[in-house]
Copies of this chain bind each other. A is one copy, B any other.
Amino acid sequence: MSKFNIRFLPYDKSIEIDAETTILKASIMAGVHINAPCGGKGTCGKCLIKVKEGEHDTKFTPQLTEENKGKGYLLGCQTRPKGDMVIEVPIESQIRPGEKIATGAKKEELHRLFMELAGEVQPRTKKICLKLTPPSIDDPVADLERLKRELSNLGFHTDHFHCGLPFLRKLGKTLRDENWDVTVTLYQSGTALEALDIQPKNLCGIRYGAAVDIGTTSVVVYLVNLINGDIVDVASSYNAQARCGDDVISRIVYATEMNGLDELQRLVVDNINHLLSGIAKKHGIDLGLIDKIVVTGNTTMTHLFYGIDPESIRLEPYVPAVFLFPVIRAKAVGISIHEQAPLYSFPNVASYVGGDIVAGVLTSRIHTKEGTSLFIDVGTNGEIVLGNKEWMMTCACSAGPCFEGSGVKFGMRAMEGAIEKVDIDPVTLDATYNVIGNVKPIGICGSGMIDALAEMYLTGVIDQKGRFREGLDTPRIRHGESGMEYVLVWRVESGIDKEITLTEVDIDNLIRAKGAIYAGFTTLLGEVGMTFNDIDKLYIAGGFGRFIDIERAITIGMLPDMPVEKFEYLGNTSVTGAYLVLLSDKLREEAEEIAKKMTYLELSVCRPFMDEYMSALFLPHTNIDSFPTVKRLLNEVGNVKL
């Protein structure tokens, strides 16, 4: 089949494809980042492209709005070449991988937390300096047995000693070249002892580890000094898999129905390698000195990272292949650090509650507290844990990545150009807003959506069901292509040469997402016969947590109406947990205990959840009395008659 050259602007990257391949697929192959939340299935209408040159075939689906059609946009997933083409990727569908991601708390705070919890740096891999007695005719013990003898003298168990071929092959030469004065890297697990590497003397004081959080949306890497626990540096980026779908379900579909498992595996591994090598290089650290890596992620993300078929995760009865991954070599999955470095991954609890949530619990310490806490990780999904030192229950609300931009017409992630804060004047009903980076706005991110929803509700633009009220005197409320909409940004102020609006469909999606989260809280509480009054603390984790305005999240009924001081932001607890376990074997065992202790509640087959969810599809809730603060606010504004 003949091949056509496709050139992408503004990146100026090119790729050869055949006539069967879509422009979206071509962009993935070319390393061009086009936003495609549905993974190319044609359902999200986000992968907008503009054909500058070249013959092509395209299908016009309802997902391509009239306005976008008018601007000459096509959908990348519906367009195939009939000759060489030049494609422009408009700003709305660009993913900018260099953007800054929430990377957790400050370095010093984390180190303090670690010292408080573990007391000392004691990772499972050790580096020790050994001075061996050289062999003689009277002591002709082989090199390996000589090493084992010395380790045994130092108190190590050597009955279950192991080492791999690379170690054996360098053992004799290193011992002799270094005059029997060497550094040995060991991995200890129970009574099993493995020698990972042998190097010149006095390298015991130089070693590093990597803590990695593989989020559905973003990847965060900590480079850690394994001697003193210091965080050398942090790097982050959007998860390179995002171009194959925004949420875990799209990724699973891409991996299975579109045969993309290998591609997804490679994308995230390359992503991590790229981040790691970047900071290692910056600090002049050889990647070979990184001899340990700990990874956290949700169940789907870790399965994809290991290259394990995730299909059963999305099919009833929702069973993954693995809860606790065996420790393997990082090299086996393609991570480019010390070739013998072990890879540890946090244990999963269920198909939709993964190791990232175990890491969250480990960080929040709710498993050690007398009082009962709630924990929520608001990321691409919303996972909730309820419990204390005696018991823990967990569930996952399929809130979807709504607050990360998916399912909202002008939704986008919290990056430059995103509206992150909105105020609406209760009299004029005009909007004012803050934009990340102080540029012209190109969309609206999660915190902006919560603000907008809260403000529209308080000012009476929309009613309790999220419907636009009739007869309000403002040009901002109008009939758009997909029904009623509120104009947040006029075209002249906009960075994308068109109005930025919130539609009734958007509002519906947001209400469903916030309703799912709230219903998750109340369902878990109901299971154990508790109410929010029994809760001492509600911990909020996730990159999202950095920007969220708690009072407004209460206003829309996403968070319960509790005193503000009971809420605590923890930031990215997934990477914090990885950092803690990287440094301490004790905390690693604690993490595995946490996973065993958690009881999972599958909401999709839970009748009470459906009732709770239906009641939560109102602003803030069908039962306004459970939101006294909101009731008071409404009275103050006075636009809404309760």
The interface residues of chain B lying within 8 Å CB-to-CB of A318 are 137, 140
Q: Bits for A331-359, please: 1 = Cβ < 8 Å to B, else 0.
A: 01100000000000000101100000000
Interface digits, A144-177 against B, CB 8 Å rule (1 contact, 0 not)?
Answer: 1110000000000001111111001101110010
Name the contact of A350 in the complex, choosing from B140, B306, B317 (C-beta under 8 A). Answer: B140
Residue A321 interfacial (CB < 8 Å): yes
Interfacial chain B residues near A605, Cβ < 8 Å: 137
Please tell me if the beta carbons of A317 and B135 are within 8 angstroms of each other in the complex: yes
Q: Does A190 contact B (CB under 8 A)?
A: yes
B316, A143: Cβ atoms closer than 8 Å: no
Smallest Cβ distance from A38 to chain B, in angstroms? 25
| Inter-chain contacts of A137 with B (CB < 8 A) | 316-318, 602, 605
User: Nearest residue in B to A307 (C-beta to C-beta)?
Assistant: B169
Would you call A328 an interface residue if the criterion is a C-beta within 8 Å of the partner chain's C-beta atoms? yes
Task: Determine the interface band of chain A, counting residues with CB < 8 A from chain B.
Answer: 35 or more
The answer, among B309, B316, B327, for a CB contact under 8 Å with A173, is B309
**B333 and A144 contacting across the interface, CB-CB below 8 Å:** no
What residues of B have a CB within 8 angstroms of the CB of A351 in the complex? 140
Give Cα A321 to B164, complex, Å: 13
A451 within 8 A of B: no
- A141: interface (CB < 8 Å): yes
Q: Given A140-B318, A192-B192, A602-B140 in contact, is the A324-B145 Cβ separation under 8 Å?
A: yes
Pick the contact of A321: B172, B308, B317, B332 (CB < 8 A): B172
In the assembled complex, the CB of A175 is this many whole angstroms from the nearest CB of chain B, namely 9
State how many angstroms separate the Cβ of A305 from the closest Cβ of chain B.
11
Indicate with 1 or 0, residue by residue over A41-73, a CB within 8 angstroms of chain B CB atoms.
000000000000000000000000000000000
Contact check, B306 vs A165: say whether CB atoms are below 8 A apart: yes
- Answer yes or no: A326 CB below 8 A from chain B CBs: yes
What is the CA–CA distance of A600 and B600 in the complex, to the nearest angstrom?
A: 61
Q: CA A348 – CA B141 in complex, angstroms?
A: 11
- How many monomers of this protein are in the complex? 2
Q: Does A311 contact B (CB under 8 A)?
A: yes
A312-B143 Cα distance, complex, nearest whole Å: 10
Task: Indicate if the CB atoms of B311 and A160 lie closer than 8 Å.
Answer: no
A173 — which chain B residues lie within 8 A by C-beta? 309
Contacts of A348 in B (CB 8 A): 142
Q: Check A311 against B172 for contact (C-beta < 8 Å).
A: yes
Q: How far is the CA of A261 from the CA of B143 in the complex (A)?
A: 19
Supposing A161-B326, A165-B306, A307-B169 touch, asked if A142 and B321 sit within 8 A by C-beta, the answer is yes
CB distance A321 to B143 under 8 Å? yes
- Interchain CB contact under 8 A, A320 and B165: no
Closest Cβ neighbor of A322 among chain B residues: B144
What CA separation (Å) do A164 and B308 show in the bound complex? 12
Q: A162: which B residues are within 8 A, CB to CB?
A: 326-327
Chain B minimum-CB-distance residue to A602: B137
Q: Do A323 and B140 have beta carbons less than 8 Å apart? A: no
Q: Find residues 452-478 in chain A having any chain B CB closer than 8 Å to their own CB.
A: none
- Chain B CB within 8 A of A91 CB: no
User: Which B residues touch A311, using CB under 8 A?
Assistant: 172
Closest residue of B by beta carbon distance from A333: B165
Contacts of A327 in B (CB 8 A): 162
Please name all residues of chain B whose beta carbon is closer than 8 Å to the beta carbon of A312 when the two chains form the complex: 143, 172, 176
Residue of B140, B144, B332 touching A165 (CB-CB under 8 A): B332
Q: Is A136 an interface residue (CB 8 A)?
A: yes
Instruction: Decide if A325 is an interface residue (CB 8 Å cutoff).
Output: yes
Q: Is A484 an interface residue, CB under 8 A from the partner?
A: no
Residue A319 interfacial (CB < 8 Å) = yes
- Please pick, from B139, B141, B143, B320, the residue contacting A143 in the complex, using a CB distance under 8 A: B320
Is B169 within 8 A of A136, CB to CB? no
Report A600-633 residues with CB < 8 Å from chain B CB.
Answer: 600, 602, 605
How far does the alpha carbon of A325 sit from the alpha carbon of B190 in the complex, in Å? 21
A323 touches B144 (CB 8 A): yes
The smallest beta-carbon distance between A521 and chain B, in angstroms, is 22
What are the residues of chain B within 8 A of A316 when measuring CB–CB?
Answer: 137
Instruction: Give CA–CA (A418, B164) in the complex, Å.
Output: 44
14 A-B residue pairs with CB within 8 Å: A135-B317, A140-B318, A140-B319, A142-B321, A142-B323, A144-B323, A162-B326, A162-B327, A165-B306, A168-B306, A168-B308, A168-B325, A169-B309, A172-B321
Given contacts A137-B317, A192-B192, could you give 8 more A-B pairs where the C-beta distance is less than 8 Å?
A: A137-B605, A139-B317, A140-B317, A142-B323, A144-B321, A145-B323, A146-B319, A165-B307
